[in-house]
Structure 1
Amino acid sequence: MNTVATANGQGKLKHPKGLYLLFVTEMWERYSYYGMRAVLVLYLTTALISGGLGMDPGKASLLYGYYTGMVYLTPIIGGWLTDRFISMRTAITIGGVTMAIGDFSLFLINAQWGVYLGLILLIIGNGFFKPNISTLVGELYSKNDVRKDSAFTIFYMGINLGALFSPLIAGMIYQHWAHSTTGGIEHFGFKYAFLASSIGMIVGQLGFNILGKKFLGDAGTKPAKEKVKPKKTEKAKPLTKVEKRRVVSILILACFVIAFWAGFEQAGSSFTLYTQKFIDRDVNGFIVPTSWFQSLNPLFILILAPIMSALWVKLAKSKRGDFGVPTKMAFGLILLGLGFFVLVPAVMQTGSDEAHIVVKANLLFMVFTYLLHTLGELCLSPVGLSAVSKLAPVKIASLMMGIWFISNSVANMIAGKIAEETQKLGYLGLYQYTAIAVIILGIILLALSKPIQKLMHLDKSEV
């Protein structure tokens, strides 16, 4: 490692160069994922003559939901494989190459079967890549290294940088073709946005494999079972009463997490379709690409995450103390619901009938919705992950984290079903009912916060 440190990571706090290699690798992977995701529903629903597939919006939203749901499910399988059979570095390469081929399939094959093939490859590749790139960051540091929290913060910035710029680039690419015409028909260059995602993935993998040996050393070169062999007595020891209660608290919170992400993930489906048709995207003659709105979330995260983190620290030092985990997560649900309510007057103004659009809504409606949803995410997501890491018994820590991510998978699939209901409820009904439902769930979680907090058995320093 590129540092002078004691066994506990003290001394110079300079990070190893391997961290920055992983930062860039993850940034390109997120660029690939969010760039493709930003235009997927638009590509599926745009007419064939305009460069899309002409798919029914409800079917497209459902397909999008199943895709994003499976993306959260396959990392459990990928993590299991690397625990037992292959190294993390090998898994990251397999995953990266498979995802690059998946994006290239979307570019090359302009047909529904090409979409299914591409998405299946992306799902498989993500399963190998996602659980191992983050774990490899931890491998660069000893267990008690004081630099580890800082390292993951830097790594998280890579995730959000990739997520920020990819919808912007994808939007410029596909909309560039919309300004050229073929026989007077507006033609979008969606497939070239998919090609850009594939190229980004390849660039990340080239850097990872060419520089990996130099900057990563031996980290991630062996399956986990060859490095750690737990004692039989530890595996056989039953959970204590406190540990069982903590597991119950995780499972309860996971149920509320499903509701949050089911609403939040409307960003890539119903929000995208509504923005495309009903939001006035004309800014002084420039038509803002629909995909650009999906860059608002990572932009707000980069701006607000340090502020929220400082707020929690300040509250923890105050006389009243910090809010408990269930309370923060309840705030997240309520903020999510308020974000949906912001769109209600917009839909009342525009209606839901694409064939008879009289007036379009100001784009600030969507901006404020994303702002509130991001604030909700910052109240719920990092707080929830931190809680699982604290509460999960050591012997089933990986299982509990897996369950937590399964809740994300279920939520994304539900999100697809919710978006599909747009055809029956219209955007007004969809957003009203979703807002009311998640706010009620937030209030319920707020009412249950004290009993759940007792189940968690955390002292004040851990809350």
Structure 2
Amino acid sequence: MERTINQNSEVYRDDKMKHPKGLYLLFITEMWERYSYYGMRSILVLYLTAELISGGLGVDNASALRLYGTYTGLVYFTPLIGGYLTDRFIGLRTAITIGGITMALGDFTLFAVQEVWGLYLGLLLLIIGNGFFKPNISTLVGELYDKNDPRKDSAFTIFYMGINLGALISPLVAGFIYANLFYSNTGGVEQFGFKYAFLASSIGMIIGQLTFNLLSKKYLGTIGEKPAVQNSILDDENKAKPLSRNDKHRTAVILILACFTIFFWAGFEQAGASFTLYTRDFIDRTIFGYEVPVSFFQSLNPLFILILAPVVSLFWLRLSKTKRGDLAIPTKMALGLLLLGIGFLVLVPAVLYTGSDEGNIVARASMLFMVVTYLCHTLGELALSPIGLSLVSKMAPVKIASLLMGVWFLSNAGANYLAGYIASLTQEFGYLEIFLYLGIAAILVGLILLAISKPLQKLMHIDEIENPTRS
């Protein structure tokens, strides 16, 4: 069947094979936002810890890692507020525009003001902007489809590819800019072009917003223009109607799984924290006489995702056609935690070889250790993260959908703050202890989730979602 979004838009075709063109517009918009975020994130700790004379701020390692954790934690906290405001007062598309412009200003502030107050102002603008942008673009993807549309999981996989395309490109660009394009060595003093990497992030955000605002009317029509409480699918009866018993069960499952994701992301986000400093100081980064910039390693994760996501998706599809059937969502998430733990354990022999005292480096380890760790963490992410976004979009009651999406990202807030704190402990206890304990803890938490996966699956009431006429 076909339905027209509005008189000035293209016809939105609800067939079983094609995705609406609006999905690809959101793909591009999110790609540029992630380009902005990951470009800045990949060099933030390096910028903080570099000496003033080298273009940094001269912050000690432990303080820089805690600041990193605070920033990334707040980045994932503000979506809770942004989701609440969007549900009630502003449309999804307006929120995305407000967020995008604010983040572009944040990156530009980091470029223009190379002082501590400029750092805090820039990070504050990025935090506020992300609160409006992050939960609402994910919710807008879900709005393109009916509640039980079988294309929705595939849509979020495509959308997730956009996230990782931006995340792949940006550390390479940022690393090349700060370590090569604007690098100089005068009188034995190294000077890095950090501020120009921040400018590149701002430009990427501007490109994404221009694309979104110029094409949204054509490809999205009226979708996302009004707050959720004014949306036509929420009639007066539904606005006043309390959540059903099954809705409460599903909401509880979302909250429980969000708690488990805290453990995953607290480990995974070492990529921008302890992994950055360990790679800088203990990993042999020389290939054929060229020293690979530290930020390049943060492109490994999105590169592996772009390569492996189709393979993993095909594996899940093939598994679903077997007699046993596909794995339950909680089981897949437990698998993600187990892979995270294995990734940390891979680094243990590397630390035993190099030592963990930055003032007394015994040797430098092969970069293959970091490559394998990122590979394990990427496989864990593919088992856990894409289905999380789809889970909230599919299972959340409509009238609190953006709020629950914000709650989902709130778990990332706690995880990122925790990640920064854990990373700072490497300066006190050493990398060996932290990597070993993180690996063991992730495996134990994964086993706990695996043990309770069946009861959680029952509380999700999947049959009712897939076959709403039975409810």
TM-score (norm 1): 0.90
Aligned residue among 360, 365, 370 for 1:361: 365
In structure 2, give the amino acid aligned to 1:10.
Answer: D
CA offsets, 1:146-189, max 9 Å, x none? 76555444333222111110000000001116752122111111
Match of 1:448 in 2: 452
Whole-Å Cα distance in 2 between the matches of residues 381 and 44 of structure 1? Answer: 29
Match of 1:121 in 2: 125
Match of 2:175 in 1: 171
Whole-Å Cα distance in 2 between the matches of residues 249 and 12 of structure 1? Answer: 30
Which deviates further from its counterpart, 391-400 or 409-418?
391-400
- Tell me if structure 2 keeps the 8 A contact 1:177–1:187: no
Whole-Å Cα distance in 1 between the matches of residues 320 and 90 of structure 2? Answer: 42
Which deviates further from its counterpart, 370-379 or 452-461?
452-461
Whole-Å Cα distance in 2 between the matches of residues 241 and 223 of structure 1? Answer: 25
Shift of 1:229: 7.0
Shift of 1:295: 0.7
Match of 1:222 in 2: 226
Q: Please list every run of 5 or more consecutive structure 2 residues that lacks an aligned counterpart in the other structure.
A: 467-471
Whole-Å Cα distance in 2 between the matches of residues 266 and 23 of structure 1? Answer: 26
Whole-Å Cα distance in 2 between the matches of residues 215 and 36 of structure 1? Answer: 30
Match of 2:18 in 1: 13
In structure 2, give the amino acid aligned to 1:166.
Answer: S
In structure 2, the residue corresponding to 1:412 is in which secondary structure? Answer: helix
- Tell me if structure 2 keeps the 8 A contact 1:45–1:52: yes
- Tell me if structure 2 keeps the 8 A contact 1:178–1:186: no
CA offsets, 1:415-439, max 9 Å, x none? 1111111122101111011111111
Does 1:405 pair with 2:409? yes
TM-score (norm 2): 0.89
Does 1:374 pair with 2:378? yes
Match of 1:50 in 2: 54
Which deviates further from its counterpart, 421-430 or 382-391?
382-391
The verdict on how the C-alpha distance between 1:236 and 1:145 changes in structure 2, with shifts beyond 3 A counting, is closer
In structure 2, give the amino acid aligned to 1:338.
Answer: I
Match of 2:204 in 1: 200
In structure 2, the residue corresponding to 1:181 is in which secondary structure? Answer: strand
Does 1:97 pair with 2:108? no
Count of residues in Structure 1 that have an aligned counterpart in Structure 2 = 459
The verdict on how the C-alpha distance between 1:362 and 1:28 changes in structure 2, with shifts beyond 3 A counting, is same
- Tell me if structure 2 keeps the 8 A contact 1:254–1:404: yes
CA offsets, 1:185-243, max 9 Å, x none? 11111111101111111222233334444554444433344333734554554555444
Match of 1:154 in 2: 158
Whole-Å Cα distance in 2 between the matches of residues 251 and 25 of structure 1? Answer: 28
Does 1:286 pair with 2:307? no
Q: Please list every run of 5 or more consecutive structure 1 residues that lacks an aligned counterpart in the other structure.
A: none
The CA RMSD measured in Å over matched residues stands at 2.7
Aligned residue among 82, 91, 99 for 1:87: 91
The verdict on how the C-alpha distance between 1:402 and 1:420 changes in structure 2, with shifts beyond 3 A counting, is same
The verdict on how the C-alpha distance between 1:402 and 1:53 changes in structure 2, with shifts beyond 3 A counting, is same
Match of 1:352 in 2: 356
In structure 1, the residue corresponding to 2:336 is in which secondary structure? Answer: helix
Whole-Å Cα distance in 1 between the matches of residues 257 and 353 of structure 2? Answer: 37
The verdict on how the C-alpha distance between 1:50 and 1:5 changes in structure 2, with shifts beyond 3 A counting, is closer
Whole-Å Cα distance in 2 between the matches of residues 147 and 21 of structure 1? Answer: 17
Shift of 1:83: 2.8
1:186-265 alignment to 2 at 5 Å?
186-228=190-232, 230-231=234-235, 233-265=237-269
In structure 1, give the amino acid aligned to 2:329.
Answer: V
Which deviates further from its counterpart, 248-257 or 186-195?
248-257
Aligned residue among 302, 308, 314 for 2:312: 308
In structure 1, the residue corresponding to 2:430 is in which secondary structure? Answer: helix
The verdict on how the C-alpha distance between 1:119 and 1:4 changes in structure 2, with shifts beyond 3 A counting, is closer
Shift of 1:78: 1.9
Match of 1:36 in 2: 40
Match of 2:67 in 1: 63
Whole-Å Cα distance in 1 between the matches of residues 153 and 339 of structure 2? Answer: 27
CA offsets, 1:329-367, max 9 Å, x none? 211111101100111111111112222223111001000
- Tell me if structure 1 keeps the 8 A contact 2:148–2:394: no
Identity %: 68
Whole-Å Cα distance in 2 between the matches of residues 324 and 147 of structure 1? Answer: 18
The verdict on how the C-alpha distance between 1:333 and 1:134 changes in structure 2, with shifts beyond 3 A counting, is closer
